[in-house]
């Protein structure tokens, strides 16, 4: 099955910036039909587990957790699993302090000595008690209504899908880069980067391929689509992600390096090469 899905699209605020208060869009596809792919009917009030793989993210992990606390859905419906993998900095310590600071949030910390983002995501998913999984990078932040938007898509029958990303800074080149990436994903029907997934469907396809170091998200979404699962596209809300890799090297050459890695990863090239 080709990647397909409803677009929950972002709207411009007139200045070309990501919307601070996303507005509702129109449905662009008929409601998906049920398929035999491991997914069951969504519960009326699904519980959500947010899985965060984190390796040497001491500068960003606290903001990621705070963005979860700031969601518009009740914290009682959320679980967070942070999987620190092969880290050498204070990431785990910061998560422990956050757990004390945020007693209303069900926050679980796993300290795995082995690096690997796909492995870390699978560990987090195995510890999830939610009906719905959301995978968030440790250097990223959720817009306040993101979980609410994902639950709406889930109830509409989209048991998995991708989430729009935007640069988490004010640099014009960074913002333009991520807008270009999102435009290309919509234009070519690509689902990649940040994602959500029904936990039963995730387990049915075997989770992430732990041999991959790049594009493991794209690989999973393709396998979910081939299993017959309709894919949604969340663009009414957004995940703000660190553009730090875009600044690597002189003359902003990091822009080209990241674009090249993502393009090759989409094509299935060098996915097993460390990022």
Interval 219-255: pLDDT, tens: 999 999 999 999 999 999 999 999 999 999 998 999 8
pLDDT of residue 213: 87
Residue 173 confidence (pLDDT) above 80: yes
22 within domain boundaries:
no
Using the predicted structure, report yes or no on whether residue 16 has a pLDDT greater than 50: no
Question: Does residue 18 belong to any structural domain of this protein?
Answer: no
Average pLDDT of the segment spanning 121-134: 98
Distance CA 59, CA 201 (A): 33
- Predicted pLDDT of residue 262: 79
Query: What's the mean pLDDT in 10-19?
Result: 37
Q: Which of 223, 234, 256, 253 is nearest to 162 (CA)?
A: 234
Model pLDDT, residue 105: 96
> Per mean pLDDT, which range of 42-51, 64-73, 108-117, 182-191 is the poorest?
42-51
Is the pLDDT assigned to residue 40 strictly greater than 80?
no
Sign of the torsion formed by the C-alpha atoms of 115, 120, 126 and 127: positive
Residue 140 pLDDT exceeds 50? yes
- Whether residue 7 is contained in a domain is answered as no
Q: What is the Cα–Cα distance from 145 to 72, expressed in whole angstroms?
A: 6
Kind of pairing, strands 132-135 and 106-112? unpaired
Work out how many domains the chain is built from and give that number.
1
Q: What is the pLDDT of residue 275?
A: 57
* Residue 78 β-bridge partners: 48
The per-residue pLDDT for 38 is: 58
pLDDT of residue 39: 58
DSSP 111-135: EESS--HHHHHHHHHHT---SEEEE
The pLDDT-based confidence of 137 (bands split at 50, 70, 90) is very high
Residue bearing tokens 């910390």: 109
What is the model's pLDDT at position 259?
A: 86
Q: Is residue 128 part of a domain?
A: yes
Lowest model confidence (mean pLDDT) among 156-170, 192-206, 243-257: 243-257
Confidence label for 14 from pLDDT (cuts 50, 70 and 90): very low
| CB-CB contact of 20 with 236 (8 Å) | no
Structural domain boundaries, residue 88: 37-266
For residue 114, the domain's CATH number is 3.90.550.10
If you ran DSSP here, which 8-state letter would residue 55 be given? S
Between CA 19 and CA 247 the distance in angstroms is 24
Q: Which of 163, 156, 1 is nearest to 67 (CA)?
A: 163
Q: The tokens of 37 are what?
A: 């792919």
Residue closest to 240 by CA, chosen among 24, 118, 6, 64: 64
Phi-psi label, residue 252: left if phi above 0, alpha if psi -120 to 50, beta otherwise: left
On whether residue 205 sits in a domain, the answer given is yes
Phi, psi of 123 (to 5 degrees): -60, -45
Instruction: Using the predicted structure, report yes or no on whether residue 66 has a pLDDT greater than 60.
Output: yes
CA 194/CA 169 separation, integer angstroms: 18
Q: 200 pLDDT exceeds 60?
A: yes
With 50 as the cut, is the pLDDT of residue 12 above it? no
**Of 245, 266, 122, the residue nearest 192 (C-alpha):** 266
Taking the CA atoms of residue 123, residue 115, residue 82 and residue 111 in that order, the dihedral angle to the nearest 10 degrees is 90
Q: What percent of the chain has pLDDT over 90?
A: 74
Q: Answer yes or no: is 55 within a domain.
A: yes
CA 271 remoteness from chain centre: 18
Please give the mean pLDDT across all residues of the chain.
Answer: 86
Residue 253 lies in a domain: yes
3 within a domain of the structure (yes/no): no
Instruction: Read off the pTM.
Output: 0.84
């Amino acid at each position: 099955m080709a990647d397909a899905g409803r677009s929950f699209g972002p709207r411009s605020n007139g200045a070309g910036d990501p919307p601070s208060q996303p507005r509702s869009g129109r449905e662009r596809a008929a409601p998906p039909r049920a398929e035999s792919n491991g997914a069951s009917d969504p519960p009326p009030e699904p519980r959500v587990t947010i899985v965060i793989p984190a390796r040497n993210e001491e500068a960003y992990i606290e903001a990621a957790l705070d963005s979860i606390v700031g969601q518009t859905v009740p914290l009682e419906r959320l679980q967070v699993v942070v999987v620190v993998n092969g880290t050498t900095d204070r990431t785990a310590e910061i998560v422990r302090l956050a757990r004390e600071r945020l007693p209303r949030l069900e926050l679980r910390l796993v300290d795995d000595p082995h690096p690997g983002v796909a492995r870390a995501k699978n560990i987090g998913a195995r510890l999830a008690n939610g009906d719905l999984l959301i995978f968030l990078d440790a250097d990223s932040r959720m817009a306040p209504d993101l979980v609410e938007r994902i639950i709406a898509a889930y109830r509409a029958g989209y048991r998995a899908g991708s989430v729009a990303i935007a640069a988490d800074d004010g640099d014009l080149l960074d913002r333009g880069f991520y807008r270009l990436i999102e435009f290309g994903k919509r234009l070519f029907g690509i689902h990649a980067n940040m994602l959500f997934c029904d936990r039963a469907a995730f387990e049915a396809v075997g989770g992430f391929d732990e041999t991959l170091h790049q594009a493991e998200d794209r690989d999973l979404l393709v396998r979910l689509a081939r299993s017959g699962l309709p894919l949604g596209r969340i663009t009414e809300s957004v995940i703000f992600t660190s553009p730090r890799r875009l600044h690597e090297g002189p003359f902003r050459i990091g822009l080209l390096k990241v674009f090249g890695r993502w393009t090759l990863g989409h094509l299935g090239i060098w996915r097993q090469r460390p990022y």
